[in-house]
Amino acid sequence: MPRQNGSVSAETLAGPVRVHVLGAGPVGLLMTALLQATEGFSVHLYEKRRDYSRTRMVQLAPYLVADSVASYCTDYIDEESVAAIFDSREIDEGLAFRRSIPSDLMTLLRGWTQGFCPLNAIERSLSDLIDARHSRPVQRTLTAMTAEDAMTMLGPGDILIDCTGKNSLLRDRLVPGAGAEGDEANTFQIRLEYALVITFLYGQAYDCNEHCKYSKNLENAQYKFIPSVNRTCYDGSISHVTGIVHISAEDYERMPSRFDGHWLRDNFPHVAESMDRFIGKIKEETNGEIVGDLEIIRIPLDLYRARNATNREWRRTGADDHPFTHSPVFLVGDSAMGSPYFQSISLGFECAMFLAGLHAQRDLSLQDMLDRYERFTYQQWLRVYMRSKMIKHNKDLLECVGDTFALLDKLHIY
Ligand SMILES: Cc1cc2nc3c(=O)[nH]c(=O)nc-3n(C[C@H](O)[C@H](O)[C@H](O)COP(=O)(O)OP(=O)(O)OC[C@H]3O[C@@H](n4cnc5c(N)ncnc54)[C@H](O)[C@@H]3O)c2cc1C
């Protein structure tokens, strides 16, 4: 039942509820597939892209399909953080919801935790699954939504879920008094560094490990290529290798957003030489060749979160004339938080599952739903923050191995 003012807390979701999901990237699609299968919701999905064209290889984290608290917590890097941040009862509740996920969807999720998969294959599979469920059709609209469109279409009792990614449509609109476009009123951000994300294909198996990051960069005093173990995979004939090279803010300004190895060689020969040395060492080990050219994008590596992942601030004001006072709004996926060193799709999927689990509890008050989602996203943020800072610190240390004093300067012990 919709509220009459901003102070009612016992209000629950009643009757058939319309849910508007903005953005059909991986997270918006999973959110849609989960709610589509839940009694009492009709889902409307909005997307501006006509096709799924992102081919980068990604892998989902095994905790997404965990069936016990112990397997949920198992993680090479932040096992202890998970145990410290999450209560085992909360994890259990999440596992119970996972067990209710329809088998068509669960089979897909299990597959994606087994090995690497192109991002657009995940998007297409989810999209096809949604379309194939004829008994509960999802209304899909191809449109570039504006924040104003989103507010206008909200009817009383509707739910709005923003899955529009890093440059979220609504994140900074979720707090009253947000100013002009570009005003990051609800965004907390730490710029970790500027980097080149360099991807190449290699015609042999390349088993990337932590030692490569050191040994293959021994002669690279600057511009070390740090491959991501989690994003380097062999598909049976080709290795897909992705890694980052730290660059300065000045370098960043002088580069286009996307370019290839030729441009790099002509304009930043020192970076190209570092890449040559790194790749040369892979070739020495495995006698392979690069297939095609380097694909390079330059990006700021930002760790960020929405200070409010729901419309709770609007509800607090009780301002009758604003749609976000009355209709629940949630940020899920990259629109809520992100880290360059975290498997962000898995994080987004985890939040989507949690939110769908809350929606399935029809006796839960709206206020509880908002509070619990805020708490959960904050816990996830703590995990992401701790892990990202640790990885950045380790990376900074690795970059000065061999220079003892530079290394000691970066070690803060006791
Ligand atoms: C180079 C690179 C490599 C990465 N590698 C990995 C990896 O290995 N593993 C991993 O887990 N993650 C990786 N990520 C991150 C991962 O791609 C994102 O976390 C993930 O795509 C986020 O999903 P999302 O659905 O939240 O947002 P997005 O994928 O950004 O999807 C948002 C969707 O909303 C749509 N949209 C946006 N605005 C509007 C609007 N106004 N109206 C309508 N539709 C709109 C967009 O078209 C898009 O389809 C990588 C990211 C980058 C940039």
Task: Using the mean position of ligand 1's atoms as its centre, give its distance from the Cα of residue 207 in Å.
Answer: 27
**What string of H, E and C letters represents the secondary structure of 135-148?**
CCCCEEEECCCCHH
Q: 23 CB less than 6 Å from ligand 1?
A: yes
Q: What is the pLDDT of residues 319-373, one digit of tens each?
A: 778 899 989 999 999 999 999 877 799 999 999 999 999 999 989 999 999 999 9
Ligand 1 lined by 60 (C-beta under 6 Å): no
Ligand 1 centroid–CA 28 distance in Å is 10
Query: Average pLDDT, stretch 213-239?
Result: 89
Q: Which residue has the tokens 């009123």?
A: 185
Q: Is the CB of 357 under 6 A from ligand 1?
A: no
Ligand 1: which of 45, 47, 60 to mutate, judged by most atoms within 8 Å of the beta carbon?
47
Instruction: Report the atom number in ligand 1 closest to the C-alpha of 230.
Output: 8
Condensed to tens digits (0 to 9), the pLDDT of residues 19-30 reads: 999 999 999 999
For ligand 1, say whether the CB of 331 is within 6 Å of any of its atoms. no
Q: From the CB of 243, is ligand 1 less than 6 Å away?
A: no
CA of 362 to the centre of ligand 1 (A): 30
57, 162, 164, 231: residue to mutate for ligand 1 pocket, most atoms within 8 A of CB = 164
- Ligand 1 centre from 178 Cα, in Å? 24
CA of 253 to the centre of ligand 1 (A): 24
Whole-number pLDDT of residue 182: 59
DSSP secondary structure, 196-213, as one string: EEEEEEESS-----HHHH
Cα–Cα separations (whole angstroms), residue 107 to 65, 111, 285, 348, 383: 10, 6, 37, 18, 27
Residue 329: CB within 6 Å of ligand 1? no
Looking at the DSSP bridge assignments, the partners of residue 297 are 197, 258
167 Cα–ligand 1 center, Å: 10
pLDDT tens digits for range 366-413: 999 999 999 999 999 999 999 999 999 999 999 888 889 999 999 988
Query: What is the model's pTM?
Result: 0.91
Q: 56 pLDDT exceeds 60?
A: yes
Nearest CA to ligand 1 atom 27: 165
Which of 21, 31, 34, 48 has most ligand 1 atoms within 8 Å of CB, for mutation? 48
Minimal-distance CA residue to ligand 1 atom 6: 58
Q: Judge whether 205 and 286 are in contact, CB under 8 Å.
A: yes
Nearest C-alpha neighbor of 41 from the set 375, 355, 326, 324: 355
Q: What is the mean pLDDT of residues 272-293?
A: 95
The pLDDT score that the predictor gives to residue 3 is: 41
Ligand 1 in contact with 169 (CB < 6 A)? Answer: yes
Kindly report the protein residue whose alpha carbon is nearest to atom 49 of ligand 1.
25
Residue 6's pLDDT is: 39
Q: Is the CB of 270 under 6 A from ligand 1?
A: no
Q: How far apart are CA 172 and CA 184, in angstroms?
A: 6
Cα(381) to centroid(ligand 1), Å:
18
Residue 302 has pLDDT above 90, yes or no: yes
CA of 325 to the centre of ligand 1 (A): 28
**Distance from C-alpha of 133 to C-alpha of 140, rounded to nearest angstrom:** 13
User: Which phi and psi (to 5°) does residue 364 adopt?
Assistant: -75, 135
Residue 231 has pLDDT above 80, yes or no: no
23 conformational bin, left if phi > 0, alpha if psi -120 to 50, beta if neither: left
| Mean pLDDT across 247-260 | 97
Q: Is the pLDDT of residue 282 over 70?
A: yes
CB 340 near ligand 1, within 6 Å: no
Q: How far apart are CA 129 and CA 86, in angstroms?
A: 32
Which residues are CB-contacts of 43 (< 8 A; sequence separation ≥ 6)? Answer: 19, 21, 32, 35, 36, 138, 139
pLDDT at 200 over 80: yes
- Check pocket membership of 333 for ligand 1, CB cut-off 6 A: yes
**Residue 7 pLDDT exceeds 50:** no
Residue-wise pLDDT tens digits, 214-226: 999 999 988 999 9
Instruction: Please indicate whether residue 144, judged by its CB atom, sits closer than 6 Å to ligand 1.
Output: yes
